């Protein structure tokens, strides 16, 4: 199978057909129409085998997650997903691998309304780079810099499950088969909060997706907004599965694990009612965890009112630690 046959077979017509795609896969470049009074929102994420996922991760999960992490970034801007391009490094043309990989991608693309419009494919170590494009009405993207003193801080879903899944997969945490199955599912199949992110347009004052751990990512909002925050340790949302292990593993994974892909956002007091109406429809749930304050930095308060020592900041690729 040559490169062109491979692209034709696995990557042409992937995702929903969209009227705004004038030229998709097959020409030198794609051509898309951008609606009047809208702005393009662009993001990219690179997944490298052995760095971003363990080598034995199933192809289906790699395809799914490569797109999911980009959709999560669009959600965090309150943008509507539209198109994506993909750069693929493949060690070999393994048909069953490609079949499963493209199926994982397609399943998520279909439900998200995003479509693959182009890319590049080359032989090399397994890497998947996706660039995702979405749009917002002019000036309506939700940035990291909009948090103000007094705003309430929320997070969707649960935190820490994916980090436990990874610890189990790399042999650093002993889990039963059932536990490993649950936590690996959270690690491999994060659900991008696209609907929730979009709905927060006009409600959230600042927003970020939690990819490197809540402490680090909320920290980015605080820095960009020039504010600080206190959050309550006892309010951090954890799953029933995590609760059973919390005596053994503590809450490090909740604050500093990675790969949650939940949304962390701030809401001014005047818009709390709007949020509550919206969130009544959200399957993932949403939890208020603290407030924005003027004193710089993030304080995590324990049940006795003391400060929790944070063990390590979120994952950083080029840190010396």
- Does residue number 120 form part of the binding site for Mg ion (CB under 5 A)? yes
Work out the burial of residue 299: count CB atoms within 10 Å of its CB; fewer than 13 is exposed, 13-18 middle, 19 or more buried.
Answer: middle
Q: Which does 227 bind (CB under 5 to 8 A by kind): Mg ion, ligand ADP, none?
A: none
46 in Cβ contact with 119 (< 8 Å): no
Interacting span for Mg ion (CB under 5 A) from 11-19, 112-120, 193-201, 231-239: 112-120
3: nearest Cα among 180, 134, 123, 105: 123
Q: Which of 105, 116, 130, 164 binds ligand ADP (CB under 6 A)?
A: 116
Beta carbons within 8 Å of 308's beta carbon, 6+ residues apart: 233, 251, 255, 300, 301, 302
Q: Which stretch binds Mg ion (CB under 5 A): 29-37, 44-52, 113-121, 271-279?
A: 113-121
87 versus 239: smaller Cβ distance to Mg ion = 87
Closest to 13 in 3D by CA, of 98, 117, 122, 129: 117
Q: Which does 233 bind (CB under 5 to 8 A by kind): ligand ADP, Mg ion, none?
A: none
d(CA 90, CA 124): 5
Q: Residue 25 binds what, of Mg ion, ligand ADP, none (CB under 5 to 8 Å, by partner type)?
A: ligand ADP
Q: Does 273 bind Mg ion (CB under 5 A)?
A: no
By CB under 6 A, residue 25 contacts ligand ADP: yes
- Report long-range pairs for 244-251 (Cβ below 8 Å, ≥24 apart): 245/164, 245/179, 249/164, 249/167, 249/173, 251/160, 251/308
Binds 289, which of ligand ADP, Mg ion, none (CB < 5 to 8 A, cut-off by type)?
none
Q: How far is the CB of 8 from ligand ADP (least distance, A)?
A: 8
Tell me whether residue 120 or residue 273 sits nearer to ligand ADP (CB atom). 120
CB of 24 vs ligand ADP, minimal distance in Å = 8
Binding partner of residue 26 among ligand ADP, Mg ion, none, CB cut-off 5 to 8 Å per kind: ligand ADP
**Shortest distance, position 130 Cβ to ligand ADP, whole Å:** 9
Compute the distance between CA of residue 148 and CA of residue 205 in angstroms, rounded to an integer. 8
61 touches 24 (CB < 8 A): no
Instruction: Point out which span in 19-27, 94-102, 182-190, 195-203 binds ligand ADP (CB under 6 A).
Output: 19-27
In the set 94, 110, 120, 273, which binds ligand ADP (CB under 6 A)?
120
Closest to ligand ADP by CB, 61 vs 66, is: 66
Residue 27 interacting with Mg ion (CB under 5 A): no
**Site of interaction with ligand ADP (CB under 6 A):** 7, 11, 25-28, 86, 88, 116, 118-121
């Amino acid at each position: 199978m040559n490169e062109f046959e491979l692209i034709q077979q696995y990557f042409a017509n992937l995702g929903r057909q969209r009227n705004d795609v004038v030229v998709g896969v097959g020409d030198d470049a794609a051509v898309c129409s951008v609606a009047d009074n809208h702005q393009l929102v662009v993001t990219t994420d690179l997944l490298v085998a052995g760095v971003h996922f363990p080598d034995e991760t199933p192809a289906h999960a790699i395809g799914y997650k490569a797109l999911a992490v980009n959709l999560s970034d669009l959600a965090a801007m309150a943008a509507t997903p539209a198109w994506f391009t993909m750069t693929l490094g493949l060690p070999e043309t393994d048909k069953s691998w490609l079949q499963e990989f493209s199926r994982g991608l397609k399943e998520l693309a279909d439900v998200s309304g995003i479509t693959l419009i182009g890319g590049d494919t080359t032989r090399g170590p397994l890497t998947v780079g996706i660039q995702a494009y979405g749009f917002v009405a002019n000036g309506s993207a939700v940035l990291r810099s909009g948090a103000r003193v007094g705003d309430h801080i929320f997070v969707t879903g649960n935190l820490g499950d994916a980090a436990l899944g990874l610890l189990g997969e790399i042999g650093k945490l002993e889990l039963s088969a059932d536990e490993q199955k649950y936590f690996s599912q959270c690690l491999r199949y994060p659900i991008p909060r696209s609907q929730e992110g979009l709905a927060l347009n006009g409600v959230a004052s600042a927003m970020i997706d939690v990819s490197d751990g809540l402490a680090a990512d909320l920290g980015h909002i605080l820095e960009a907004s020039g504010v600080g925050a206190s959050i309550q340790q006892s309010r951090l949302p954890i799953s029933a599965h995590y609760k059973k292990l919390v005596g053994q593993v503590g809450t490090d994974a909740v604050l500093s694990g990675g790969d949650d892909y939940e949304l962390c956002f701030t809401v001014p007091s005047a818009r709390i009612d709007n949020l509550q109406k919206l969130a009544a429809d959200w399957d993932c749930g949403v939890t208020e965890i603290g407030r924005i304050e003027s004193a710089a930095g993030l304080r995590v308060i324990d049940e006795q009112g003391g400060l929790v020592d944070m063990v390590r900041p979120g994952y950083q690729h080029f840190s010396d630690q």
